[in-house]
Structure 1
Amino acid sequence: MPIKLPQALRQTDEILTIGSCFADVMGRHLADHKLNVTINPFGTIFNPVSMAKLLLMALNGSRPDENLYVERDGVWFHYDFHSSLWANSREALTEKLVGTLQKVGETLRRADWLFLTFGTAMVYRHIETGQVVANCHKMPGSLFEKYLYSLDHVRDTLTKLLKALHRANPNLNVLLTVSPVRHTRDTLPVNQVSKSLLRVVCHELTVWHDFVQYFPSYEIMVDDLRDYRFYEADLIHPNAVAHEYIFQKFGESLFDDELRTFIAEWAGIRKSLAHRPLYGPTEGHRRFLTHLLARLEALQGRVDVSAEIASVREQLDATVANRQPAN
């Protein structure tokens, strides 16, 4: 079972998630529970080398590497970024990437938490430039060399990153986790080596840096939820039940008492927001909406519930309109 982590996450904290698709999943859960979170602004990034490169670029105000732009079928990409960041011209893509890096740099300097989710230690090196890339953008495999990054190099890369982060923002807490998604294309034995390497590095970094913590999402998936009913049909990705379970353990490990209380309260409100009346705009449903609106208005000033309040008021207006006698 996850242990209580030494530094607690508060409802008012600002969070940035970077990493694999599991960083998206946990980021969305945090956002759904009204936490202030920026989710994977660079797109999905699997290896720690590319994560470190992008975060250091953001901190240092560096521009994207001019040698790593690539055009495919009239669309422009950059090898350091996920394919979700694209444009119809190199100039437009440069503007988008520079803006993203600037925003991430600003976020890093004020954020309370950085969550890094490592997917794999396998990397692709662009042969022409000698650079490790984050995404191959469906370009021919002959352009790249694939290999397992060594433990020493991963450790050194992340140590350099952590030192730079701490200099830029001494109040930043860093939470590391290893994605529970298996990279079966690398073969199961190599995937296990990769995950083990990442886990060893995470352990060492938490020992050496008191602002770095580790959450065992990988261990929960493979040891606690050790049954294929917790996976999607591909038997690789955790399903919604697994995500909910891991997020529950995440909260038990990291959330402070006030945030846990709010999460429980918000879970009830979310359930009410999803409710749809069986018999239309009855008087009972109007009372239900009035009570829900009061609960939401009581949260104003703590979290942003403006969209939810607007939605409930619109439903209330509809119930009133439906009660008006026809002329």
Structure 2
Amino acid sequence: MQFQVPIHIKPLDTPITYRDKLLLMGSCFTEHIGNYLADMKFQVLQNPNGILFDPMGVCNSLVSYMENKQYTTGDLFQLNEAWHSWMHHSRFSHIDASEGLRIINASQQQAHTFLKQADWLIITLGSSFVYKLKESNRDVVNCHKAPAQTFNKHLSSIEEMVTALDGTLHRLFHFNPHVKVIFTISPVRHIRDGVVDNNRSKARLIEAVHHLVNKLDRLYYFPAYELVIDVLRDYRFFDIDMVHPNYPATQFVLEHFTASHLHKDTQALMEDMKSLVIARKHKPFHPTSQQHLAFLKKHLDKALLLQQTHPYLNLEEEIAYFRQ
């Protein structure tokens, strides 16, 4: 008997390899994919503005990277003893405005340089809802626990999202002619919007993304949302909040991403990377024992050989650790 709905994921025309640079943007589920790839030693840059949920936030952030926008004190506001940016996650907030600006602008510069060289941009969209400042009608990507009456909440139409994404992607392809884009929809339920409005929000995202994927070259869709909601389709695959996919569900999605989007040779090399990562995290009972020293030597030799065979890998941390 078959206990799951079958799903066919079309492999990429040009699969991802370790030589590629990958910029990931979007919701918290983006970071599941990004952390997985970073752990496996891919060349990854994640969310230079922090977590972003809606297409407008993603578009505005991408434009700022292409323009290498440098923020000033006029772009910050003070709330609850810290300085914040409406365009950044609270991890960029700081008690000292100048230090907050330094962190933000360093991330902007890094994103500008990385995006210019990126081979892949992976965008995970979480919601069609946009929050706008009442006083200026300006979009924000993070509310920073400001009072609810500070904002108007707007459910973007499919046309609004397609227009914003289409214009941004055309600018992106001019800025970086060889970059390719993978869209995913986050399977995380935005339950604060209510079940009905969450489904309306996700439906609009799906329709907008597929409109673009069918229209433009170099755009692809990975069905993370469908893998969790339609294939797994069970609350045992969610955390206790009934909203976020749990570890088995996330691993299920990542296994499908690996099988369909990564090159076969890269998948084989990932097994070597995995053994090094596990060895790097090993906590010995007796660090000075001959057994542990032999363990370090064995994995140092393996890391050095991999670095020599695949010079595009960055194994500096692992080599330094095993050399201790």
TM-score (norm 1): 0.89
- The percent of aligned pairs where both chains have the same amino acid is 30
What is the alpha-carbon distance in structure 1 between the residues aligned to residue 257 and residue 155 of structure 2? 29
Q: How many residues align?
A: 314
Question: Is 2:37 the partner of 1:30?
Answer: yes
Tell me which residue corresponds to 2:100: 93
Tell me which residue corresponds to 1:84: 91
Question: Is 2:301 the partner of 1:294?
Answer: yes
**Contact kept? 1:123, 1:133, Cα under 8 Å:** yes
Q: Relative to structure 1, is the Cα distance of residues 280 and 168 closer, same or farther in structure 2, using a 3 angstrom cutoff?
A: closer
Q: What's the CA shift for 1:228?
A: 2.0
Segments of 5+ residues of structure 1 without an aligned counterpart are 315-327
**Contact kept? 1:11, 1:258, Cα under 8 Å:** no
Deviations along 1:21-58, whole A, 9 cap, x unmatched?
A: 11111111000000000111111111110110111122
Matches within 5 A, 1:210-229: 210-229=217-236
**Range that drifts further, 151-160 or 52-61:** 52-61
What is the alpha-carbon distance in structure 2 between the residues aligned to residue 231 and residue 119 of structure 1? 16
Q: What's the CA shift for 1:274?
A: 4.0
Rg larger for? 1
What is the alpha-carbon distance in structure 1 between the residues aligned to residue 83 and residue 271 of structure 2? 44
**Aligned letter for 1:146?**
K
Q: Relative to structure 1, is the Cα distance of residues 82 and 278 closer, same or farther in structure 2, using a 3 angstrom cutoff?
A: closer
Structure 1 vs Structure 2 CA RMSD: 2.0
**Aligned letter for 1:189?**
V
Q: What's the CA shift for 1:285?
A: 4.7
* Residue in structure 2 matching 1:182, options 176, 180, 189: 189
Q: Relative to structure 1, is the Cα distance of residues 159 and 284 closer, same or farther in structure 2, using a 3 angstrom cutoff?
A: same
* Residue in structure 2 matching 1:259, options 260, 266, 270: 266
What is the alpha-carbon distance in structure 2 between the residues aligned to residue 286 and residue 60 of structure 1? 50
Question: Is 2:312 the partner of 1:305?
Answer: no
What is the alpha-carbon distance in structure 2 between the residues aligned to residue 285 and residue 81 of structure 1? 44
Tell me which residue corresponds to 1:271: 278
Tell me which residue corresponds to 2:173: 166
**Aligned letter for 1:296?**
A
**Aligned letter for 2:153?**
K
**Range that drifts further, 184-193 or 83-92:** 83-92
Q: What's the CA shift for 1:292?
A: 2.2
What is the alpha-carbon distance in structure 2 between the residues aligned to residue 11 and residue 63 of structure 1? 31
Matches within 5 A, 1:86-235: 86-235=93-242
TM-score (norm 2): 0.90
**Range that drifts further, 18-27 or 292-301:** 292-301
What is the alpha-carbon distance in structure 2 between the residues aligned to residue 39 and residue 171 of structure 1? 19
**Range that drifts further, 60-69 or 74-83:** 60-69
Q: Relative to structure 1, is the Cα distance of residues 45 and 280 closer, same or farther in structure 2, using a 3 angstrom cutoff?
A: closer
What is the alpha-carbon distance in structure 1 between the residues aligned to residue 97 and residue 291 of structure 2? 58
Q: What's the CA shift for 1:308?
A: 1.7
**Range that drifts further, 36-45 or 274-283:** 274-283
What is the alpha-carbon distance in structure 2 between the residues aligned to residue 95 and residue 266 of structure 1? 34
Segments of 5+ residues of structure 2 without an aligned counterpart are 1-6
